[in-house]
Amino acid sequence: MHLTRRARREHAAAKQRRDGLRGALRWVALVLSIALALGVVALATFALVIPRLGGGVPLTVLTNSMSPAAPPGTLIVVFPVDVDEIAVGDVITYQIRSGEPEVITHRVVGVASPDEDGPRFITQGDNNADPDPDPVRSVQVQGRVAYSIPYLGWVNNVVNGEHRGWIVGIGAGGLFAYALWNIIAGIAEARRSRRRRALESADEDGDVDFPK
């Protein structure tokens, strides 16, 4: 098919618009994949790396007693604390019965008279109408909540155990690999687009036959 100069310009403009749209979509996908990868790394850092380095423990909230601050599914990270540093307003995790694994996480609303082990704390869930029936003894305190991450607790439950670290690592690595692939593909596509535009520009002074 023989094209005039005007037709060639229109053809080149239409192709450039298509290339521009494809390039824009590719860069949007790139930005989203990088943001997702960085988000996964950030969550892994707060949920795994910081607790491990600082001696903290990630726990999942299972009840509504601390809503709305920490509804079910919230991941809380608890760090050991000197009981003398605990103050009213702190959220602490403590054993229901000393020496047993079951724990509760509630807010300190008062300090009771100490016993032979040290201070005792009056606790209450933010969503509970009344304080807990018995003061928490110092030996029951497991730590103080440093921060919480909404919804991540459910993920923590699913990947809990010895395999959690490498599962998160594989997920983050896969997202970074996808982002890197998008970067390389975007650079390659940009080079091809520049080459096509250069060839089309060079042909503007003459007639070009395009196959039907």
* DSSP code per residue over the chain: -B--HHHHHHHHHHHHHHHHHHHHHHHHHHHHHHHHHHHHHHHHIIIIIHHHHHT-EEEE--SSTTTTTS-TT-EEEEE---GGG--TT-EEEEESSTTSS-EEEEEEEEEEEEETTEEEEEEE-TT-SS--SSPEEGGGEEEEEEEEETTHHHHHHHT-STTHHHHHHHHHHHHHHHHHHHHHHHHHHHHHHHHHHHHHHHGGGS--BPP-
Q: Tell me the residue range of the domain where 17 lies.
A: 5-51+167-205
In the predicted model, what is the mean pLDDT of residues 89-98? 96
Domain-embedded: residue 127: yes
In the predicted model, what is the mean pLDDT of residues 155-183? 66
What lies within 8 Å, CB to CB, of 43 at 6+ separation is 149, 152
N- to C-terminal Cα separation, the chain = 6
Tens-digit pLDDT profile for residues 21-54: 666 777 777 777 777 777 777 877 887 788 888 8
- For residues 70 and 44, membership in a common domain is answered with no
In the predicted model, what is the mean pLDDT of residues 166-183? 67
In the predicted model, what is the mean pLDDT of residues 62-75? 94
Q: What is the domain-level CATH number for residue 94? A: 2.10.109.10
Q: Residue 57 has which token pair?
A: 């423990």
- For residues 80 and 147, membership in a common domain is answered with yes
- For residues 89 and 69, membership in a common domain is answered with yes
- For residues 157 and 72, membership in a common domain is answered with yes
Domain-embedded: residue 211: no
- For residues 61 and 153, membership in a common domain is answered with yes
189 burial class (0-12, 13-18, 19+ CB within 10 angstroms)? middle
Beta carbons of 95 and 115 less than 8 angstroms apart: no
pLDDT band, residue 20 (cuts 50/70/90) = low
Q: What is the pLDDT of residue 67?
A: 95
Beta carbons of 73 and 155 less than 8 angstroms apart: no
- For residues 30 and 99, membership in a common domain is answered with no
- For residues 77 and 10, membership in a common domain is answered with no
108 compared with 194, residue with greater pLDDT? 108
Q: What is the pLDDT of residue 164?
A: 58
Q: Is the pLDDT of residue 90 over 80?
A: yes
Residue % of the chain over a pLDDT of 90: 41
Q: Give dist(CA 157, CA 153) in Å, integer.
A: 6
Domain count, the chain: 2
- For residues 130 and 150, membership in a common domain is answered with yes
Domain-embedded: residue 122: yes
Instruction: Report pTM.
Output: 0.64
In degrees and rounded to multiples of 5, residue 203 shows phi and psi of: -90, 0
Domain-embedded: residue 210: no
Q: Give dist(CA 194, CA 189) in Å, integer.
A: 9
pLDDT band, residue 191 (cuts 50/70/90) = confident
Half-sphere exposure for 136 (CA within 13 Å, toward CB): 29
